[in-house]
Chains A and B, each alone.
Chain A
């Protein structure tokens, strides 16, 4: 396992190395400062403001105006994406002649991509035209990510504000995030991936006459361009159904590490950006440390558990130990080029962040290995989390930790010199609880109703319960990975996808969960930002509880684990943990 730990350690070290430079760069992007790309992109940026008819310098927005712009923007894009998916038969670049998926599946897919989730009830290569992938989904991979980052920036401005109530201008944030951050990195990332074998074309599917005289049809498409932003924006929606396990999306151990880097680079570096924007790097590193502890713990647990193999394999007489020429472990649902280590670290990274791309089959994970994605989602995606959304959720937890710490020592809670009052703590509590509550209600409903259990693949056993619980955990946390047996769309593989139909209950409940658990927390976060912005800063004194030292990191970890465990531990026991602790089969 030494080689495995070495590659995991090197990967995390590389991510750590970019935290500072990328963090500084992003602070400049958010502050509207001049960048090395400004000579090239500056005219485009100014042109964009002219076309959009906004004057960012004069049009600072309070939290309600910021929220209004965000909601209008997202709603309009929801409508456009839904129409794009519904009219697929009329669109160009549709070599397979696919018809639109049913309305309920389109509702789910649209809600999923608008919310940076990319939960997929459909298989891309058997459902969507190249046009729908590019013009519909790839655009969302950019803008939903930019919206998440914009909300974070607004919250940071609220926390850091010295006077006034302006949180910045939503349109300016959107334009600068897309233009200076997401687009340039995506272009580089896409070209690196394309050079390594990730396909990028608009050709028809290729019909191959194989070496031994068989026929194999290879799906084609503009994959690399989608793959880069899918990772960078922590979106995770695969061009192909098996996502980053498919060699045309992720052809080698090298592309695998590139893709994991694209996932983590922005969420990790945002902690540095945060420290810079509130004027204390230690604040950023404190948050980073809390996140890193949880991510590394999850990675190690997944690696050890997957290396062990499964009860089904052992009872079949298979030896899952390492030997000369094979690393052993639970290779069911995994690819040889990734092996156990690169599959385990990908699993931890994609679920700790709200990405949800997978390079192995989660439904085939061992019980305890499978508990890692459950736990990461159960912590509400604060372990680096989605771009922007991870840190804004984490900051809610930080305020909660300050509040609880304040209660324990009997002082008025303050965060970065701002007093936390009743209104703030109410909003924070709502923001923290709305996602877990959505998960428990929806997965309970789906488990208890006949309509809900139609989606099951594994049946009425712990594995089937895992499928249902994970489906709603994933959608509510805007992750998008799946225990993939769970389905909301049945496709009989007719030409042009004729005869496919959706399971309306799963599609609609999922769609509502997606939207609710994305936009309600965003509104609470913006409200917190607005409330914080108007507060005066009191100078730190001897009695101030520090939020930049190991004690606070420990307190913050405790709060996160406590909230997550109290909410989900009983449910997770019934699914993966039962499987991990038992050698029984069912």
Chain B
């Protein structure tokens, strides 16, 4: 039978030793290996355009104006250093108003170039807040609607814009898990390379 004093001593040693092994050695070893083997991924999957880093492939950005594909709505103004959920409830009046406004805005932005566009054609992701506020993707349906606007504004044939979308589609994990989506930053970079703005 061990006394309390002995237990305390063992406990103290355990706390110190485990903190060093699990709190310093483990994360630092993983950091070291990751930096050597996967330095791109471990440092934020940054992408460049025109010789400068313009963002992370994984983190969505805000795109305004008619000439770019737009990301999903964000409650955080696409913040990458202060994230939070929009917390819009399923029965919330504000939620209804927000969707209503987003829906009207989406149709207003795209209808001039896609005459047959109606509310029924608008995919849910285009008018609802993402979870992270920086969803890097939009649905293919969203991208194909916006393609009409982009093609007209950039003076490209629609099928060339569609081809760019095909190139920016990221499939399901292992072909099975999750949903496919279109990476907005990569798509806009491809667009800039193909038909630069003025």
* Cβ of B148 to closest chain A Cβ, rounded Å: 14
From the candidates B52, B131, B139, name the one contacting A209 in the complex (CB within 8 A).
B52
Which residues in B have their C-beta under 8 angstroms from that of A463?
Answer: 89, 91-92
| Interface range on chain A (Cβ under 8 Å from partner) | 35 or more
* Cβ of B93 to closest chain A Cβ, rounded Å: 5
Q: A136-B23, A318-B99 are in contact. Are A361 and B61 (CB under 8 A)?
A: no
Chain A contacts with B in 48-81, Cβ cutoff 8 A: 48, 51-54, 59, 65, 68-69, 72-73, 75-77, 80
Q: Verify B9–A218 contact, CB threshold 8 A.
A: no
Q: Verify B81–A217 contact, CB threshold 8 A.
A: yes
Q: A310-B91, A334-B130 are in contact. Are A484 and B178 (CB under 8 A)?
A: no
Give how many B residues have a beta carbon under 8 Å from the other chain's beta carbons.
111
Q: For the complex, what is the distance from the CA of A208 to the CA of B139, rounded to whole Å?
A: 25
Q: Verify A186–B26 contact, CB threshold 8 A.
A: yes
* Cβ of A45 to closest chain B Cβ, rounded Å: 12
Which residues in A have their C-beta under 8 angstroms from that of B97?
Answer: 316
Q: A139-B23, A325-B123 are in contact. Are A200 and B34 (CB under 8 A)?
A: yes
* Cβ of B5 to closest chain A Cβ, rounded Å: 10
Q: For chain B, what secondary structure do more than half of its interface residues adopt (helix, strand, loop), or is it mixed? A: mixed
* Cβ of B63 to closest chain A Cβ, rounded Å: 6
B176 contacts partner chain A, Cβ-Cβ < 8 Å: yes
From the candidates A217, A240, A312, name the one contacting B90 in the complex (CB within 8 A).
A312
Q: Which of B89, B103, B139 has the most CB of A within 10 A?
A: B89
Which residues in B have their C-beta under 8 angstroms from that of A52?
Answer: 10, 13-14, 17
Q: Verify A242–B19 contact, CB threshold 8 A.
A: no
Which residues in B have their C-beta under 8 angstroms from that of A317?
Answer: 100, 103, 119
Q: For the complex, what is the distance from the CA of A366 to the CA of B90, rounded to whole Å?
A: 5
* Closest A residue, CB atoms, query B17: A51
Q: Verify A364–B89 contact, CB threshold 8 A.
A: yes
Q: Verify B131–A359 contact, CB threshold 8 A.
A: yes
* Closest A residue, CB atoms, query B30: A225
A-B contacts besides A72-B4, A364-B87, 17 pairs, CB < 8 Å: A48-B17, A73-B11, A123-B82, A178-B22, A187-B29, A197-B57, A199-B43, A201-B35, A212-B64, A218-B56, A242-B85, A246-B83, A252-B170, A313-B95, A325-B142, A337-B135, A337-B181
B residues apposed to A, CB below 8 Å: 1-2, 4, 6-15, 17-19, 22-24, 26-27, 29-31, 33-35, 37-38, 41-46, 49, 52-59, 61-65, 68, 72, 78-93, 95-97, 99-100, 103, 119-125, 127-144, 170, 172-174, 176-179, 181, 185, 188-189, 192
18 A-B pairs, CB-CB below 8 angstroms? A6-B176, A73-B15, A123-B84, A135-B24, A201-B35, A248-B56, A251-B58, A252-B178, A254-B178, A311-B91, A312-B99, A313-B96, A319-B119, A330-B124, A333-B131, A336-B72, A364-B90, A493-B82
